[in-house]
Structure 1
């Protein structure tokens, strides 16, 4: 996807100041902080680790990805967050170690970690 962007788009995606907000799995709100005025915030759709669409006019009218899509694609933590799958129980992850013990291996567990988790530094 990044390889399909023109040189100007690649440079702008790298040099301009962006902020990112995860709206939902697969949806990232990209705001261009390089501008003083409002209205430079767009949602980028991410599917299977690739930005595939943006609601900005540049994506609608030009060939290839826009700078918002490239900005998401070149920032690995943002791209990874966009792919995160929500936890079905409302976000309360259970710290389960490889031995099947629950609660022993998280940073706030009531017990010391089991040996396997300690050795793996979990």
Structure 2
């Protein structure tokens, strides 16, 4: 697991374990990531924005990130999930005026969706949001 973490990350074993087993939900927002901890009774009270800089979860809004040495569990949870960091990198390239990676995207079987069932090849919102497909030209 350590090979996935950036050099500057030195989480405690407790933080690393929690980053692995807690039920986190991730949402990409303009190149940053909203992390929601679904393990809590009221997950809405446990949502934090993590800022990603050069492919590294750099900061988190949570109280633990400011109060303790080392990265918080939210930053570590992102760092150990390279597919999320790859998606954020794609969004950041697009937001900075770069080109999309749609032509190079090859979905895994688990990424399949129900786009085929929609009218005239129109993609579902999840495919557009994640960059798998674009809207058809009109």
TM-score relative to the length of structure 2: 0.61
Tell me which residue corresponds to 1:55.
61
Report the CA distance between 1:65 and its aligned residue: 0.2
**Structure 1 position 5, deviation (Å):** 0.6
Corresponding position of 2:131: none
Say yes or no: does 1:17 pair with 2:10: no
CA distance in 2, matches of 1:92, 1:17: 30
Residue aligning to 2:40? 35
Specify the SS of the correspondent of 1:4.
coil
Report if aligned partners of 1:47, 1:83 keep a CA contact under 8 Å in 2: no
CA distance in 2 between counterparts of 1:53 and 1:36 reads 25
Give RMSD over aligned pairs.
2.5
The answer for unaligned runs of 5 or more in structure 1 is 96-107, 109-122
Quick one: which of 88, 94, 97 aligns to 1:86? 94
Greater helix fraction, Structure 1 or Structure 2: 2
Contact 2:49 2:60 in 1 (8 A): yes
Instruction: Return structure 1 stretches of 4+ with deviation > 2 angstroms.
Output: 91-95
Which structure has the larger Rg?
A: 1
- State the TM-score, normalized to the length of structure 1: 0.68
- Residues 10 and 23 of structure 1: CA distance in aligned 2, closer, same or farther (over 3 Å): same
| 1:44 has 2:53 as partner | no
Other-structure match for 1:77:
83
Counterpart in the other structure of 2:74:
68
